Every structure is written in structure tokens, then in C-alpha cells.
Amino acid sequence: MDTTTTHQDLQQEIDALKATLTGDMFNDMDIKDKIHNLEMKLKGVRPMDSHIECVGCGS
């Protein structure tokens, strides 16, 4: 994680993205993907059996 990005910064960005969700699955798909990537960074989660960053989602 970038040292200039704090957990609070990530959470604020997640909250801002969640506020823009419309409820329409197709319109929200990109926003939900961004939220997912940020939540993975926030939690320090990587896919199982992965010693490198996730290639599939970029987290």
C-alpha cells in the first residue's frame, strides 16, 4: 500500500463511492469493482495461494 494513503483515506474513498451507487447493477458495476479493490487494500487481503498481487483484479 502507498505510504501516503492511510486507512482513513481509503475508507473515505470507499464511503464516497458507495454514496454514488444507483441500485442499477449494470450502472454500478464499475463502482462496485473500485470499492472491492479499495476494500481489499484496506484489509490487506490477497487471493489464497498468492504471494504476489492479484493479477485478476489489480489489488
List pLDDT tens digits, range 21-58.
999 999 999 999 999 989 988 888 766 555 555 555 55
pTM above 0.75, yes or no: no
50: left (phi over 0), alpha (psi -120 to 50) or beta: beta
**Long-range own/partner contacts, residues 52-59 (CB < 8 A, 24 or more apart):** 57/33
Q: What is the pLDDT of residue 34?
A: 94
Task: Give the model's confidence band at 15: pLDDT under 50 very low, under 70 low, under 90 confident, else very high.
Answer: very high
Q: Which among 48, 39, 9 is positioned nearest to 59, based on CA atoms?
A: 39
Tell me the mean pLDDT in the region 6-29: 95
C-alpha cell at 56: 485478476
Check if the beta carbon of residue 50 is closer than 8 Å to that of residue 44.
no
